[in-house]
Homo-oligomer: A and B are copies of this chain.
Amino acid sequence: MKKLKEKEISSKTVFKGKFLTVKQDSVLLPNGEIGTREWIKHPGAACCVPILPNGDIVLIKQYRYSLKREMIELPAGKRNKNESFEECARRELEEEIGYKTNKLTFLTDIHPAIGFTNEKINLYLAEGLVKTKMNLDKDEFLELKPTKLHDALKMVWEGTITDVKTIIGLTWVQKRFG
């Protein structure tokens, strides 16, 4: 078996903004040469597939500035400091769609962009929803889109939903419970 491992020689923070922390590391490559790796340090995130009592899934529509367009997504967000993935899932669910969940089931974890970030997203099914109140961040704007699983999956297979956490969350729910 080929050795694939790359060892850190040194690591520095080259940009620290309001949202992003960018690292540039010098690494020892498997062939003994020195290489450079640049990556975004990410706290990890949680994403929920929220099922309303009538069976609808709560999708959201949100403007994504990096893409300059609206995207259809599942509710999700980054972990706060010292927050577990499950606590993050519960908090983001309530903040973004205004529901508490009485039954949170872990589905899987995913790595969205392994070439340049350590981000991991844990995906959960959120059932037993109880209405509370939305509490968006002050720079966060979104619309709720309750949707039948069948219709949401149609949007996946037609290529209308292209956000990876949303594609994978919906296909996992279909596989497990569909």
Contact = CB atoms under 8 A, between A and B. Distances in A.
A6 B139 CA distance: 10
A2 B70 CA distance: 12
A149 interface: no
5 contacts: A4-B141, A14-B15, A30-B141, A35-B139, A112-B112
A165 B142 CA distance: 26
Contacts of A118: 66-68
Interface residues of A, number: 66
Given A163-B111, A164-B110, A116 B19 contact: yes
Contacts of A3: 141
Given A40-B116, A63-B5, A110 B162 contact: yes
A22 B66 CA distance: 11
A71 B114 contact: yes
A159 interface: yes
Nearest to A111: B162
